[in-house]
Amino acid sequence: MKDLIRKVLLEYLGPELLLEGKASVVVPQKINIEIDNYLDKLNGFGKGLSGFFYDRYLKVIRRNFIVEDTIHFRQRLFRLSEPEYKPDGALYDPRIVNPSTLEGLKLLKNNINYISEMLRDGIIKPNNTYINFYTRESEPYSMMVFFSKSISSPKIINIKLITQIKGVKFSNKNTSLKSTLSIELPLTDESDVGGYMSQIIERIKKKLGLII
């Protein structure tokens, strides 16, 4: 019953209503402009972000995405400004740091081929699915994203960025939002298509004498 209620809320009210706590930070205008400009370029000014993968016949297939964030996602760039995350606050943790402005967006962009492969393999379902993406760096980064199919363009998959945290992983104790899967993402493109393209680029550089 809880899952059914969550699906109904998502469909009619949107995923921002199921966030991990309320944020109060006012995001600086220059940060909003920087993110808006990056998202415009990332989404090809409306055409979509392209991810590539091999099908079973080793043919390269394109999959298009539209990436959008939420106010909450932007506010969590300044998590340490919230009273509960300051020293003596209820959620204070000295390991938590603020992410860089475009950290989550760039991580997503670098892994869009890898994400396309996981959609191809059925690991990620594009129908109203929450995924927790994370890294294993010394200061780990995590972001909760929401996958859904575009109503107007069924071939396009929407990726909504819900929230983010750096320094620690998400704790289910502090959120009513539960991800379906937690998936580690590398910092660079390690997909099959990305690996092949890297080999081609390396060969070109060697021919041009740029590397030995």
pLDDT digits (tens, 9 = 90+) for 15-42: 444 456 678 999 999 999 999 999 999 9
How many C-alpha atoms does 87 have within 13 Å on its Cβ side? Answer: 0
Separation of CA 209 from chain center: 37
Q: How far is the C-alpha of 112 from the C-alpha of 206, rounded, in Å?
A: 27
Name the average pLDDT for the chain: 83
pTM: 0.82
AA identity, residue 208:
L
DSSP-derived pairing of the beta strands 141-149 and 129-134: antiparallel
For residue 8, the model assigns a pLDDT of 45
DSSP string of 151-206? SS-TTEEEEEEEEEEESS---GGG-S---SEEEE--SS--SHHHHHHHHHHHHHHH
